[in-house]
Structure 1
Amino acid sequence: MLAVETKKTVKKAVTPDEGIGAALRRARNARELSGEALASATGLSRRTIIKIEQNDESVAFGSYRAVAHALDLDWLMDVFSRDANQGTTQPPRFYLSGASALSLPPEDGRPPALWYSSSLSNPKSWRIAGKHVTHTGYLMGVLDLWDATTAIARYGVTVPCIWAASPERAVFDLLVHHCEIKRKPVPNIQASDIDDVVDLNKVARWIKQCEAFLSRQGAKTIQDWLEDSCQ
């Protein structure tokens, strides 16, 4: 990590947004680090820092990496990069998540975590990240999202393209949506109901990585929900 002096991290609730730039901006603000100080530490201009925080894709991907490295957030670059060669930083605008994604057999061949598959044949009942569930692209980029166009066609629905969250990403989205954004427990789904299919330890690791972007209350509520399966 580049040598950057920062003050103690201040945890604040965040508003969902897409793109790695928003995540880097929030991380810088949480560390009470000025844009000028970050520019000095990375060797980039202040204008480039501004463009990065606005998610300007005209900026070289290496500059995004330099900022993430300075903020000790190298892992962000991996989860936001859909293609390591192209360096894409944007997740899809919408994707299946929540109960809909948990009801869809994932691409790795596991059975669905929930059995609401009848709802998948009716697009009006789909739970969509970015509409009905918090879009966590600002935290997770494209990590554990997959092209579910062919899978959803098995339910009699033909769409040009639809992405879906893996079971773990769907649970992560639900936890952030309810515990962090709405400040309420996750309704109707308990960890013990789905831990035979969903890797909740993986979800817990993601939550740990993202703690700097969560409020203390939100992080505690999430941990309380997870603790019966993630000792």
Structure 2
Amino acid sequence: MTFAVETDYPERTDGAAAGGIGAVFRCARNAQSLSGDALAQATGLSRRTIIKIEQGDDSVAFGSYRAVARVLGVDWLLDVFCGTAREECAHSPQYYLSGTTALSLPPEDGRPPALWYSSSLGNPKSWRIAGKHLTHTGHLIGVVDLWDATTAIARYGVTVPRLWVASPERAVFDLLIDHCEIKGKTVPNVQASDVDDVVSLSRVAQWVDMCEPFLSQKGIASIREWIEGGDW
């Protein structure tokens, strides 16, 4: 079985991107109760190649990564990690503002803030940070909808060398993954109806659908129940 490699992708992945893809491939395979041997047979690759891919070996041809992505039903991962923003994805920030803090900051596209907790923006100790206070979802959607808010946060009297912030949609996605999937709890103090005038819940729902192979059925059900509480 062979697969064509699109010309707008590299022949090989870089190390950082390959590591991220491999880890998520392994999660997707386990979530689908698919053995390594079964995946090898379905892709036409050797078992050894599958192991290398899941370990993030960047010596493996990109076409092999694509073959695995197609069998697992996660082709979109290659766009997230290795598409036109490949160089940026390879350097995904370790931390970024998210959750209610990001929802309180006016996004870069000119929309108003989804929440009105702006008084907390001038106090870094109150910030909600993905990778520290909230689950970092880079393993699921890469650097999608992260923006450089270094200048924006300076308006609140905070000067930092570089500050990445989640868009309103990414901030909601992070909240849902952190509470519904990881902690098994409902999102406290924020309902879909509180933010649906600013946040595109359909975009959030699309990400959830794409990430379904990596999430528990209980988590998915809880997340979708929360989203359905808003006005699409």
Alignment of 1:148-227 (within 5 A): 148-227=149-228
TM-score computed with the length of structure 1 as normaliser? 0.83
**Aligned counterpart, 2:6:** none
Quote how far apart the aligned CAs of 1:58 are.
5.2
Please give the secondary structure, in 2, of the residue aligned with 1:164. Answer: strand
User: Larger helix proportion, structure 1 or 2?
Assistant: 2
Unaligned stretches of 5+ in structure 2? 4-18
d(CA) in 2 for partners of 1:196, 1:93? 30
1:111 aligns with 2:116: no
Counterpart of 1:120? 121
> Which residue number corresponds to residue 136 of structure 2?
135
Q: Which residue number corresponds to residue 68 of structure 1?
A: 69
SS at match of 1:33: coil
The answer to whether the Cα contact below 8 Å between 1:20 and 1:141 also exists between their aligned partners in 2 is no
Q: Deviations over 1:60-92 (max 9, x none)?
A: 544433321231211111223474464845532
Q: Number of aligned residue pairs: give it.
A: 217
Identical aligned residues as a percent: 70
Secondary structure class of the residue paired with 1:146: strand
**Distance of 1:161 and 1:171 partners within structure 2:** 22
Worse-matched range after superposition: 135-144 or 51-60 = 51-60
Task: Give the superposition deviation at 1:49.
Answer: 2.7
RCO higher in structure (CA 8 A, sep ≥6) = 1
Indicate conservation of the 8 Å contact 1:2/1:41, yes or no: no
Give the alignment's Cα RMSD to 1 decimal.
2.6
1:186-205 Cα shifts (integer Å, max 9, x gaps): 00011111110001111112
Residue identity opposite 1:148 in structure 2 = A
Q: 1:63 to 1:163 in 2, by over 3 A?
A: farther
Aligned CA distance change for structure 1 residues 198 and 162 (closer, same or farther; 3 Å): same
Query: Contact (CA 8 Å) 1:133, 1:173: kept in 2 or not?
Result: yes
- Note the residue ranges of structure 1 that are not aligned, 5 or more in a row: 4-17
